[in-house]
């Protein structure tokens, strides 16, 4: 990948045969230095000059970086996602502006647009990122248990605690997921995956004789719906609390309520 900066003669003065930069060009060079420093901070590798040559009407400086290196660092992506989820949750998707997200993240708007070509793409990537992390968290929790009843308890605890710990994300997810926009289709697949994990646990419990015969798919959807509504009510009610405080205060009672409700409906005994 090449980046080209062209300096034009009207920015130069010639005195005693020596070409010097005018004040305007000096200011541009200072800004360019800041831009290079910003890019170096936000991307995994710094840019560097490789060559220069005369072009018609000016001089072009070439900077080159390997394509695979020119990607946002994890830290920068994390800052963008953290800022985006707050802005989207507070302003709503339609009213949220990329300028606001850039300011909140402490990065240039161009940095965001290099990696995400639109607000829609950023929103989708944000939701996919959060839901993928949630799926992995839930899967790790249920893999710790062999008994279907304990797996179901672990699943409920994992889903509830994750959403409380990421309360702003939960608010965004559970308010935007029901939108009819095309952008929702991709991350709704992640919701389906979460419901499928529940469905797997229910089917194993049925096969082992611990759970009653039931429509496992419909039941898994109902469980996710009950969990979502229970969480979002607490998130809005305790909006002044941090994610950790939300989880510490509400996870145990919400899980206990859900567990009692679910067990009454599915356990044989």
Cross-strand bridge partners of residue 55: 58
pTM above 0.85, yes or no: no
165-196 tens-digit pLDDT: 999 999 888 777 666 566 667 778 888 999 99
CB atoms within 10 A of CB 162: 23
pLDDT at residue 27 greater than cutoff 80: no
Q: What pLDDT is attached to residue 133?
A: 93
Give 75: exposed, middle or buried? Use CB within 10 Å, 0-12, 13-18, 19+.
Answer: exposed
Positive or negative, the Cα torsion across 236, 242, 244, 245? Answer: negative
Interatomic CA distance for residues 40 and 72, integer angstroms? 10
At residue 10, the pLDDT reads 41
Highest mean pLDDT: which range of 31-40, 51-60, 249-258? 249-258
pLDDT of residue 59: 47
Tokens of 261: 């409700």
Q: What is the mean pLDDT of residues 145-166?
A: 95
Residue 67 confidence (pLDDT) above 60: no
Q: List the end-to-end C-alpha distance of the chain, in Å, as a whole number.
A: 66
Tell me the Cα Rg of the chain: 26
Q: Are 169 and 159 in contact (CB under 8 A)?
A: no
For residue 216, is pLDDT > 90?
yes
Return d(Cα 184, Cα 186) in angstroms, integer. 6
CA–CA separation, 173 and 32 (whole Å): 39
Strand-strand pairing, 12-15 and 2-7: unpaired
Of 44 and 132, the structure prediction assigns the larger pLDDT to 132
User: What count of residues does the chain have?
Assistant: 269
Average pLDDT over residues 195-209: 95
Residue 98 has pLDDT above 80, yes or no: yes
């Amino acid at each position: 990948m090449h980046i080209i900066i062209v300096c034009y003669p009207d920015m130069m003065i010639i005195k005693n045969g020596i070409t010097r930069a005018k004040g305007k060009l000096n200011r541009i060079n200072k800004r360019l230095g800041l831009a290079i420093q910003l890019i170096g901070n936000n991307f995994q590798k710094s840019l560097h000059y490789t060559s220069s040559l005369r072009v018609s009407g000016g001089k072009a400086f070439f900077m080159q970086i390997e394509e695979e290196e020119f990607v946002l660092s994890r830290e920068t992506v994390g800052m963008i996602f953290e800022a985006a989820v707050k802005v989207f949750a507070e302003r709503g998707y339609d009213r949220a502006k990329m300028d606001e997200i850039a300011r909140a993240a402490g990065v240039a708007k161009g940095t965001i647009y290099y990696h995400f070509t639109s607000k829609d793409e950023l929103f989708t990537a944000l939701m996919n990122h959060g839901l993928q992390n949630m799926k992995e968290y839930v899967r790790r929790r249920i893999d710790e248990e062999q008994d279907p009843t304990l797996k179901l308890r672990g699943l409920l605890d994992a889903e509830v605690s994750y959403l409380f710990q990421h309360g702003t994300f939960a608010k965004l997810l559970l308010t935007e997921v029901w939108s009819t926009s095309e952008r929702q289709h991709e991350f709704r697949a992640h919701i389906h995956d979460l419901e499928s994990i529940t469905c797997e646990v229910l089917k194993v419990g049925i096969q082992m004789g611990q759970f009653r015969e039931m429509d496992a798919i419909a039941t898994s959807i109902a469980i996710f719906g009950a969990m979502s509504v229970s969480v979002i009510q607490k998130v809005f009610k305790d909006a002044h609390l941090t994610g950790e405080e939300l989880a510490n205060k509400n996870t145990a009672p919400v899980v206990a309520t859900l567990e009692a409700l679910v067990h009454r409906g599915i356990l044989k005994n």
